[in-house]
Amino acid sequence: MNSTRHKLLRTVALGAIAGAVSLSVAALPVFAATATNITGPNGATTITLTPGQSATVTVAVTGLTSANVNAARIALVVPAGFTVTGSQCAGIFANPAATCTIIPQNTANGVQLNAGILGGVVTGTSGNVLTFTLTNGNTAATGTVTLTLDTANTVYVRNDQTSEGPGTAGNLTINTAAAATATAVAATATATAVAGVATATPTPVIPEWSPMWLFGSGLLALGGLAHLSNRRRRN
């Protein structure tokens, strides 16, 4: 019984938050935060998502003019074929003393994430608002696309029903092309024998003796012959 009553109260509260956000959007906010930024993992402003890949995306606000904000509508223009799922409150919206819930609403060009804090307000004026999973389901996607904050329909709502605009928008750039793969091409050095190349045969070099050496050797030869002739006479 208590569980049913709790669910009913929660549904009524969420309906009230959604209604409050809708009313605040209808009336242009008088105040505005400094900026609302969309970033990828580790605060990246550019990420790569090839078809089938997913990444966690964070929406953060800087410089809310009031600490009494208890709801927000984050309107996103989502690239064709991409999906937004698994949204969760984060940072200053994840008040541990309260309950934060998000109601997604599909739009003609994307999605609106209605975040409401039940029984509390934000824990600061700057910080993360929510996170979600962004998936590239566009198998034909090539090049670069952008996940854009729809500033005309994004608003932060205070607990007195006044509201603040998102401030300057920081969008997320998405590269959908596959990362270049460095293909190691084995450069095989093939020793190709070139047919018909004549191998030069070295010509033997005959040393030339000097004139003095030739003269000296001639005298020795003559002396030897004379000695041989004298021996023959004696015999």
Say how far apart CA 149 and CA 171 lie, in whole Å. 6
Residue 171's CB: how many other CB atoms inside 10 A? 16
Give the C-alpha distances (Å, rounded to integers) separating 220 from 13, 213, 228, 231. Answer: 134, 11, 12, 17
Return the H-helix or E-strand segment holding 4.
Answer: helix 2-26
Contact 44, 88 (CB under 8 A): no
Model pLDDT, residue 157? 95
106, β-bridge pairs: 111
Residue 218 lies in a domain: no
Model pLDDT, residue 6? 44
Residue-number span of the structural domain to which 44 is assigned: 2-175
Number of domains in the chain: 1
Contact 109, 152 (CB under 8 A): no
Residue 220 lies in a domain: no
Residue 223 lies in a domain: no
- For residue 108, give both structure tokens: 């003609």
pTM: 0.69
Residue 193 lies in a domain: no
Contact 173, 146 (CB under 8 A): yes
Residue 186 lies in a domain: no
- The CATH code of the domain that includes 162 is 2.60.40.680
Contact 87, 175 (CB under 8 A): no
Tens of pLDDT along 129-176? Answer: 999 999 999 988 789 999 999 999 999 999 998 999 999 999 999 999
Residue 25 lies in a domain: yes
Residue 146 lies in a domain: yes
Model pLDDT, residue 191? 44
- Counting beta carbons within 10 angstroms of the beta carbon of residue 4, is it exposed (0 to 12), middle (13 to 18) or buried (19 or more)? exposed
Say how far apart CA 85 and CA 134 lie, in whole Å. 7
Residue 47 lies in a domain: yes
- For residue 53, give both structure tokens: 């890949």
Q: Which parts of the chain have pLDDT scores under 70?
A: 1-28, 178-235
Residue 66's CB: how many other CB atoms inside 10 A? 17
